[in-house]
Amino acid sequence: MKLRTRVLLLTTAFALTLLAITFGLSFHQSRVIMSAGLAVAWIVVICSFAGVQITLRKVVRPLEQLARAADRIADGDLNARAPVAGDLEIAQLGTAFNHMADKLRAHARTDDLTDLPNFRAFRERIDAEIERAVRYPEQFGILVLDLDHFKLYNDRYGHLAGNDALQRVARALRIAVRAVDFPARYGGEEFAVIVPQIGAAALATIAERVRALVESLPAPAGGALVTISIGGALYPEDGTTVDALFHVADDRLYQAKRDGRNRVVIPVPARRSADRQSA
């Protein structure tokens, strides 16, 4: 029994004893009054305990959980969420916190300049795509795109014009790919696309559509036309890890640069067969 409870009961018993002595009550009457008084005291103790438990369950514990979620977000875990429980005000606080966490997570995975998913979001998505492809064996492709002569473009027309070129390429990329595809700004002047459930020929077709759309973009006032080079790779034919796929796609991207830029390098099965026969 806690000290506060003992003090309350002893104080109640002492007060009732004084009351009995003061009014000259009989022993039996004193016992009845004392028993009733102690019963009331126990009821007060039980109600107080119940009130504390209700407060803990509805207010304190949800607030503690919300504080732990805030600590996790501060440590970089943007998947942390607060419970939406307790009294109405506490539940509203949890909902507002989770809404803020969703915005933080989206912002952390979005490129500020182009509004495309960024490198972090792309790596998370391709890891998930590989896991899915292992579970349900099927192909998917990646495209790696790089603006041609972008450093010279920046040096000649300035960084604002360079940023505008990146934004125009990002918009064209969104238009040219399918709704299920995942375009992202991979870094600098480089973009990448995850293309689910696709073969080599269809992957090359999408890449060529992107290249042609970028080439067709009108030059801004005082600027110049922008072109891109594209390399692609297929899972699992060209690799079964992220690094292996990017190694192949990057090699093909640089081949496109060496071959004159503004082109796509994605070998399709017919071309691969012809290459083996000629060898």
The domain limits of the chain are: 3-107, 119-278
Fold adopted by 119-278: Alpha-Beta Plaits (3.30.70)
| Catalytic positions | 189
Q: For residues 69 and 79, what is the distance between their CA atoms, to the nearest angstrom?
A: 9
Q: Is 226 exposed, middle or buried (0-12, 13-18, 19+ CB in 10 A)?
A: buried
Closest CA to 207 of 149, 256, 137: 256
Burial code (b: 16+ CB inside 10 Å, e: under 16) for 27-45 equals eeebeebbeebeeebeeeb
At residue 53, the pLDDT reads: 54
44 confidence band (pLDDT: 50, 70, 90): low
Give me 51's structure tokens.
Answer: 């009130």
Burial code (b: 16+ CB inside 10 Å, e: under 16) for 144-171 equals bbbbbebeebbeebeeebbebbbebbbb
Tell me the average pLDDT across 196-219: 96
Higher pLDDT, 53 or 273: 53
At residue 153, the pLDDT reads: 93
At residue 219, the pLDDT reads: 85
Residues 192 and 144: beta-carbon distance below 8 Å: yes
Helix (H) or strand (E) holding 80: none
Using the predicted structure, report yes or no on whether residue 73 has a pLDDT greater than 80: no
Residue 193: phi and psi, rounded to 5, are -135, 135
Closest CA to 119 of 108, 105, 133: 108
Residues 220 and 157: beta-carbon distance below 8 Å: no
Using the predicted structure, report yes or no on whether residue 21 has a pLDDT greater than 60: no
Higher pLDDT, 123 or 13: 123
Tell me the average pLDDT across 225-250: 97
At residue 262, the pLDDT reads: 98
Residues 265 and 170: beta-carbon distance below 8 Å: no
Closest CA to 140 of 174, 178, 173: 178
